[in-house]
Structure 1
Amino acid sequence: MTDEQLHHRGDRAVFAEDLRADGEPEAEFNPGIAGRLPRKNVAAGALVRDGEGRVLFVDPTYKPFLEIPGGMVEDDESPLAACYREVREELGLELTLGRLLLVDWMPTHGVWRDSLQLIFDGGTLSRGQIRAIDPDGDELGGFEFLNLDAARPRLRPSKARRVALAHQALLSGDAFYGEFGRPAR
């Protein structure tokens, strides 16, 4: 692949050109079926570390648990572009995201429909990058770097499993598929 193919970073113009190149969309084989098909939410986050290997967790103002940087993918936005946008909005950082570590399915829970949770390698931050973190005060109460054992009591159990699985993927060099934070084969 060329550098251009690898580094589009969710560029809407690139996708628009790709859609034009694909030609007319296929017709519905059964009129009205597209509107009746299920939709899933998608979220994208980054597994970001410090020089000691601890994971960056953010403290959202709107929920009682820690999260990793990231958030919901908007309509017509790629998960990769959403991850870049969310990290920039939440932390004021322009990171170079690495490979996909994990795709994790999450079941419907209360008012929240089932979703796919993607975690990308957010890399290791330098001391200068850490000093430059500027948390969005409306959305975040702060941030901290923690090892997984220290973070676990402050995470939902499914999030703790998901982050641990993404960390395992990082160390193994593989990408994993999980279901509610548990490895699935």
Structure 2
Amino acid sequence: MPPPTPGHPVTASVLITSPTDDLLIVHPAKPDAPWQLPGGIVEQNESPLDAVRREVREELGLEIHVDEWDLFAVEWLQATRPDRRDRLAIMFAGPVLEPLDADRITLQPEELDMWRWADRAEARSLLHPAIVARIVGPLQTPGSALYRETRHEGTL
């Protein structure tokens, strides 16, 4: 197996909301996995925008419109274990999904076993705290991206 490439792995996710400002969250098809936002790993030679569009298409069966000005948050996350690498997490503010569009969601069963709408309180209790920390202020605020660094001093 070749050694890992240098640099930081990158993930891209998207905040998809309902007309009532609920957040679309997804559950990975893994035992004891926490709920997440739609998205995933940015592959080699792929932009974060292309990755988030691809992940939503693959995992939910939806074509979404997300552009570079929809950047919502960028976070550098320090590795929490010696066998992990630091990574960058990029989040976009996505579209408002109308009920007819939500009816077209088709989960990729190898990746996800459930999806649901969650209000902010539910989202805070179901999502990983690192994801919750990126979701501050109004969910649809184009042009006002957040940058964060999450360090775990002395944990490695």
With normalisation by structure 1, the TM-score equals 0.71
Deviation of 1:112 (Å): 2.7
Kindly indicate whether the alpha-carbon contact (under 8 Å) linking 2:75 and 2:147 is maintained by their aligned counterparts in 1: yes
Compute the RMSD of aligned alpha carbons: 2.1
In structure 1, stretches of 5+ residues that fail to align are 1-36
Q: Which has the higher helix share?
A: 1
Asked whether the equivalents of residues 41 and 51 of structure 2 are also in contact (C-alpha less than 8 Å), the reply is yes
Whose Rg is larger? 1
Q: Which residue of 2 aligns with 1:54?
A: 22
Q: How many residues align?
A: 144
Q: What is the CA-CA distance between 1:176 and the residue it aligns to?
A: 1.4
Write the letter of the residue equivalent to 1:149.
Answer: A
TM-score (norm: length of structure 2): 0.84
Within a 5 Å distance, the mapping from 1:1-185 to structure 2 comes to 38-62=6-30, 64-98=33-67, 99-110=70-81, 111-162=83-134, 164-165=135-136, 168=138, 170-171=140-141, 173-180=143-150
Q: Mind listing any 5+ residue stretches in structure 2 that lack a counterpart?
A: 152-156
How far apart are the structure 1 equivalents of 2:84 and 2:107? 26
Structure 1 stretch 125-134 or stretch 146-155: which is displaced more?
Answer: 146-155
Partner of 2:154: none
Q: Deviations over 1:153-182 (max 9, x none)?
A: 2222112112x23x546347511111239x
Q: Which has the higher contact order (CA 8 A, sep 6+)?
A: 2
> 1:130 offset after TM fit, Å?
0.3
